């Protein structure tokens, strides 16, 4: 796994051994960031369930102003910090070692995030609680894009019934998908 583009282009990233994480492949990451290319420069990026930090690091490498990494696992936090240090991007990063719902309540933000990426463990329904928490928070506004990475078979049609949230589009791959969500005021 590596950084695809930007200031840290081609640098290899560490991953956490075992089944605790499921890193987004370079090809899928490249497709995702091609779709986001006009939104990333200068953005505030929130990477939930960060794993190795590869998605947030890609955003920083491509010019995001800052990125928050939220992860509960100690080995993953160590991996994120190592990857940030190796890519020289730690000065624009905030790493939060806690569960995602607690982090949403604790983030002291004067401005909403531009992009929120969420890659929760598949099939556990964790994204639903997080989306409800985000919909009632000041971390999002009508300029925020929320992206969920999930198993291709997971039904996320309930999202349109969550206040302020609306599915914009789905991008499907072989075994997983990205669901892009717009925020309405």
Domain boundaries, the chain: 26-183
Report the half-sphere exposure of 29 (CA within 13 A, side-chain side).
Answer: 20
| Average pLDDT score, the chain | 93
How far, in Å, CA of 46 to CA of 48, rounded? 6
Q: Report the pLDDT value the prediction gives residue 16, as an integer from 0 to 100.
A: 87
> What is the CATH topology of the domain spanning 26-183?
Rossmann fold (3.40.50)
**Lowest mean pLDDT segment, chosen from 8-17, 20-29, 86-95, 138-147:** 20-29
Distance separating alpha carbons of residues 126 and 148, to the nearest angstrom: 11
pLDDT at 123: 83
* pLDDT band of 23, cuts 50, 70, 90: confident
Q: What is the mean pLDDT of residues 113-130?
A: 93
**pLDDT for 108 beyond 80:** no
The pLDDT of 126-148, averaged and rounded, is 96
Handedness of CA 180, 30, 9, 98 (dihedral sign): positive
Check whether 149 has a pLDDT greater than 70: yes
- Alpha carbon distance 131, 113 (integer Å): 14
% of the chain at pLDDT higher than 70: 97
Percent of the chain with pLDDT over 90: 83
Rounded-to-integer distance, Cα 140 and Cα 144, Å: 6
Sheet holding 66-71, edge to edge: 93-97, 66-71, 44-48, 115-118, 145-151, 176-183, 165-172
């Amino acid at each position: 796994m590596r950084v695809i583009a930007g200031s840290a282009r081609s640098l290899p990233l560490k991953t956490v051994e075992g089944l605790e994480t499921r890193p987004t492949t370079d090809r899928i990451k490249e497709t995702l960031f091609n779709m986001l290319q006009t939104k990333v420069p200068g953005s505030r990026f929130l990477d939930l369930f960060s794993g190795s930090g590869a998605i947030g690091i890609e955003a920083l490498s491509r010019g995001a102003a800052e990125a928050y990494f939220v992860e509960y696992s100690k080995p993953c936090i160590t991996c994120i910090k190592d990857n940030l240090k190796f890519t020289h991007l730690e000065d624009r990063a905030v790493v939060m070692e806690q569960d995602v719902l607690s982090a949403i309540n604790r983030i002291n933000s004067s401005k909403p995030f531009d992009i929120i990426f969420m890659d929760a463990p598949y099939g556990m329904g964790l994204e639903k609680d997080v989306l409800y928490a985000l919909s009632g928070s000041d971390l999002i506004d009508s300029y925020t894009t929320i992206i969920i990475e999930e198993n291709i078979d997971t039904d996320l049609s309930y999202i349109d019934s969550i206040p302020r949230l609306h599915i914009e589009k789905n991008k499907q791959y072989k075994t997983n998908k990205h669901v892009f969500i717009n925020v309405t005021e």
